[in-house]
Chain A
């Protein structure tokens, strides 16, 4: 196993062997083999993750950082060991920079409230983009209401890419933070984050990346990115739900006040004075999701063993195939056509509502997402109330993409 996925040699993955790791994939839905193409909403878990969580509860569970007894030590080792695995996985400098959260959403809210609220004032600006998931819009709207700051939105073009010229223009003297998605969940666009971060750095503006859709699909190196915050979720990277990560640059986290108060985030409590704990525990009030962290650590091990560069390459091949077969479906229009996309295909079928598409393909055992994908401004931009979205993981197959295309042809026939 390699700590740095970049060093893993690119090889052809044995998809059948990998699929065997995912028990949930081997079932029939509505009498057909399940084709799970809703990975951007939540991916599935390999046996290795399920076993790690089960082993933790079956053998090692106790509360962390508290007891002198053996189980508490084992639980603490497993919990902190998982933190180290995640730190290595995204190449952060120190475990102090890895804060456990419930997920990407909570991580962004933490930054909005702990970093943003004390610093922002009337007229300050937070610069986001049109492509954001609601989780990277609403926390900023809330802190804007609290502080008088203003949310500024970088427009995008018809392919679903942010307009860099507009970004540069909007990045002004009042911009206090840039927050953008690394990969769009609705369209699959991979944002030019290196370029955006370089522009922001030139003006001394910190950058938060919403990495929920990036971490499961490509190598992410926070030092190479040079971002200040990076947020992601366990359940989209084949780990448990209810666990996620906020990476923060240590010097910035050290300056931030705690977000929530309680046990574990303190060193000493008196009624006159309370001394907060050190990083990262300062931001982890209460008994954490220990099993979730352990499971996420196992997911990181699993991804390392498969190799992120292998995964990225496999998914690019799948995307190419799926795009080709879907484009042959009469009346189908793909929404979001940026070059170098992640393996997400958002589409509409002329005259047929996405919700009907979702029901009909479900009858063929195919799970896709339909709706606004928590990105209503994106839908509005393209003038559609909703889209259907197929999102792939490395364990998906070309045959599953073919079945989707066939099911879409059937959908058209049903409404003809």
Chain B
């Protein structure tokens, strides 16, 4: 295993300068995600209009993997429909936890494909998936989610 599979340049970059690291003013959907194991805490904000995500943002603190994952997620979600977002959740989940053969077309995930290296680090999968669970919760009305 090479550490560079986990800490790819794009992940290091998004950790250093997280995109959409802010709140969204109401009306908004939101949820909080906690990873009690390592103390990660993310708050995800979404503005959804006519079934389409017009803006996605997040705040919080966490490790490089969780911050980069959230940063890239907010970029990717912009303009997606709710169904597309939930579909993406499933694909990311598959990428992080499934077999290599089930990972499908990584190219269509763009930068998010950089998270595929996390799969080799079972102790870090929850870091990468925290924001995605939180996003899913925000879409369905919001609540605190915990990865423990």
Contact = CB atoms under 8 A, between A and B. Distances in A.
A353 B1 contact: no
Given A371-B39, A385-B40, A415-B15, A356 B3 contact: no
A356 to B, nearest CB: 5
Given A355-B127, A359-B121, A360-B3, A386 B38 contact: yes
A370 B123 CA distance: 12
A353 B62 contact: yes
Given A414-B12, A415-B64, A355 B38 contact: yes
Interface string A355-384: 110011001000000111000000100000
Contacts of A353: 38, 61-64, 67
A354 B63 CA distance: 7
Contacts of A354: 38, 63
Residue in A352, A353, A363, A372 with the greatest tally of chain B CB atoms within 10 Å: A353
A71 B61 CA distance: 57
Contact of A359 (B15, B37, B67, B124): B124
B65 interface: yes
Contact of B41 (A352, A356, A385, A415): A385
A386 B34 CA distance: 13
Contacts of B40: 355, 385
B128 to A, nearest CB: 12
Contacts of B63: 353-356
A287 interface: no
A371 B148 CA distance: 14
Interface string A61-92: 00000000000000000000000000000000
B-side interface size class: 20 to 34
B39 A379 contact: yes
Interface string B1-31: 1010011000010011000000000000000
Contacts of B38: 353-355, 370-371, 385-386
A373 to B, nearest CB: 10
Contacts of B16: 415
A414 B39 contact: no
A146 B141 CA distance: 35
Contacts of B123: 359
Contacts of B7: 356, 360, 414-415
Nearest to A30: B1
B67 to A, nearest CB: 8
Nearest to B60: A385
B61 A385 contact: yes
Contacts of A379: 39
Interface residues of A, number: 17
Interface in A388-416: 414-415
Contacts of B41: 385
Nearest to A385: B39
A349 to B, nearest CB: 12
B60 to A, nearest CB: 10
Contacts of B121: 359
A415 B3 contact: no
B37 A371 contact: yes
Interface string A99-125: 000000000000000000000000000
Interface string B34-57: 000111110000000000000000
A354 B1 CA distance: 20
Contacts of A363: 1, 3
Interface string B62-73: 111101000000
Contacts of B1: 30, 363
Contacts of A372: 39
Contact of B3 (A355, A370, A385, A414): A414
A356 B64 contact: yes
Interface in B101-125: 121, 123-124
Contacts of A359: 3, 6, 121, 123-124
Q: Which 6 residue pairs are nearest across A and B when measured between Cβ atoms?
A: A385-B39, A353-B63, A355-B63, A386-B39, A355-B38, A356-B64
11 contacts: A30-B1, A353-B38, A353-B61, A353-B62, A355-B38, A355-B40, A359-B6, A363-B1, A370-B38, A385-B38, A414-B3
Given A355-B38, A359-B3, A415-B15, 18 more contacts: A352-B64, A353-B67, A354-B38, A355-B62, A355-B65, A356-B63, A356-B65, A359-B6, A359-B121, A359-B123, A359-B124, A360-B7, A363-B1, A363-B3, A385-B61, A386-B38, A414-B3, A415-B7
